[in-house]
Amino acid sequence: MKLLNYVAVNTIETLLRVIPIPCKVGMLTIGNPGRSSPVFLTCNYHLTVKRVKRALRGIDCYLLVANSKGHNVWCGATGGHFTNHDVISVLKTSGVNGLVDHRSVILPQLAATGIESDHIRKRTGWKIIWGPVYARDIQAFIKNDFKKTIEMRVVTFPLASRIEMAIMWAFPFSIIASLITICFWPEVLLPLNVLIWGLPFLIFVFFPLYAKWLNPEKKGVNFSKYTVIFDFGRTPLILWGLAMSCLLGFSVLTNSFAWPSILRWGFIFLVVILIVSLDLMGSTPTYKSGLHEDRFLKVVLDERKCRAAGFCEQVCPRNCYEVDGSRHTATMPGAKKCVQCGACVVQCPFDAVYFMGPDGEILPPATVRRFKLNLLGKRLKAAEKNTGLSL
């Protein structure tokens, strides 16, 4: 019965993945925790909590659910919906303070772009341990004495996740398109839905095959990997215009000109172009954001300031860093893989890593901590203006 419920929730919420679904904020008790049991913290996206609870089965612990307004950990933390305030609030108001003797809380690694461990420790006395990226690794993480292996730190985009993305992309489209077509062109319902479901599956399933030819470094206007071909904006409209004029030309030449069919085909073209070009723009922990100016930023490691604290290595979703504890230095052998998420910049206690713009301008870590991706890739501009907010 429990399994059935779990499968049902996973299915429904995967279909509705584009919508943030919040659940209750507060503290959950799992098993029979005692005064030295571990404390975990996650966001209040309903599906996340469901999955984390399942991953924690058999462990006696407390699970704190912080208010991310129903967003998942990565989107919430990186986009400014899951913040320091939410973590401080749940630590202070949930009553966990009186239940355990220690003051260590395990957070999902992907929250590191938005939650500042230093700030949380100063305000609450709680020390953040950056746990694994995926909830399924939690059991192994505990067995490994609360230490992460490389596999637990790196974000991947396997077939299962890609199919999940295709579903979340196709479902809302198919609902909207079906509602429209059922009114004025019911016979096309089935082929249109096959198209709407087929295209995202093709796009996502074969992503690794063509990904290497898409170059986000290109300085063209808004070229994006996720938009697959073009970003939504002028280009898709031109494309749509082209398709429409071909259609018009064809119908005039073959002497079969009729407005209804022109309108209908115009609608189909629009749907197709929207599917391949709209969204999936944005920053992900696996691939560079193609849309935002952020993709031109470079992470610079200041070796004089670095004291090999190792936070960068712990939070990097791309495994760019290598920390040598004995020589007290960190290096970036994987700098090429960087996706500019900024987690290392936010976490470094010595401000030894910072962003540098294409023309050599420096973005102070304080600015990045303040705005994170809230500026939607406008961090560069913030640096130029050096927006000293008068607060």
Partner 1 sequence: MKVLESAPDRYDRGIRILTFGKLDKSYDRLASHIKSGHKVLDIGCGTGALTLRAAQKGANVKGIDVNLRMLEIAQKRAREMHVAENVEFCEKGVAELDGEGSENYDIVMSGLCFSELSEYEVIYALEEIKRILRPRGILLIADEVRPKSLSKRVFHWLIRLPLGIITYILTQTATHPVENLPEMTEKAGFVIESVRLNRMEDFMELIGTKPGE
- Asked if 347 interacts with partner 1 (CB under 8 A), we say no
**Contact residue for partner 1 among 9, 15, 22, 331 (CB under 8 A):** 22
| Among residues 46, 51, 71, 153, the one that binds partner 1 under rule CB under 8 A | 71
* Of 76, 104, 148, residue with least CA distance to 316: 148
Which part of the chain contacts partner 1 (CB under 8 A), choosing from 139-147, 152-160, 175-183, 273-281? 273-281
Q: Where are the alpha helices (DSSP H) in the chain?
A: 2-15, 46-55, 73-79, 84-93, 117-124, 138-143, 150-153, 159-184, 189-205, 207-211, 234-253, 259-277, 311-315, 343-347, 365-371, 379-385
Task: List the one residue from 72, 117, 174, 227 that touches partner 1 (CB under 8 A).
Answer: 72
List the one residue from 85, 127, 305, 385 that touches partner 1 (CB under 8 A).
85
Alpha carbon 77 to its chain centroid, in Å, reads: 9
Is residue 127 within the footprint of partner 1 (CB under 8 A)?
A: no
Q: Is 261 in the site for partner 1 (CB under 8 A)?
A: no
Residue 162 binds to partner 1 (criterion: CB under 8 A): no
List the end-to-end C-alpha distance of the chain, in Å, as a whole number: 53
| 89 lies in the site for partner 1, by CB under 8 A | yes
Residue 97 or 144: the one with the smaller Cβ distance to partner 1 is 97
In order of 99, 107, 123, the CA distances from 370 in angstroms are 32, 20, 16
**Residue 145 corresponds to which tokens in the numbers above?**
């004495």
277: contact with partner 1 by CB under 8 A: no
Q: How far apart are CA 70 and CA 20, in angstroms?
A: 5
Read off φ and ψ for residue 127, nearest 5 degrees.
-100, 130
231-260 residues in contact with partner 1 (CB under 8 A) are none
Torsion of CA 44, 48, 52, 53, to 10 degrees: 70
| Segment lying near partner 1 (by CB under 8 A), choices 91-99, 250-258, 321-329, 358-366 | 91-99
Dihedral, CA atoms, 76, 82, 83, 86, nearest 10 degrees? 180
Q: Which of 17, 51, 153, 379 binds partner 1 (CB under 8 A)?
A: 17
- Six-digit token string for 179: 């509602």
374 binding partner 1? (CB under 8 A): yes
Q: Does 81 bind partner 1 (CB under 8 A)?
A: yes
Instruction: Report how many residues bind partner 1 under the rule CB under 8 A.
Output: 40
Query: Which range of residues in 87-95, 100-108, 193-201, 310-318 is near partner 1 by CB under 8 A?
Result: 87-95
Under the rule (CB under 8 A), what is the footprint of partner 1?
A: 17-18, 20, 22, 24-26, 67, 69-72, 75, 78-81, 83, 85-86, 88-95, 123, 279-282, 370, 373-374, 376, 389-391
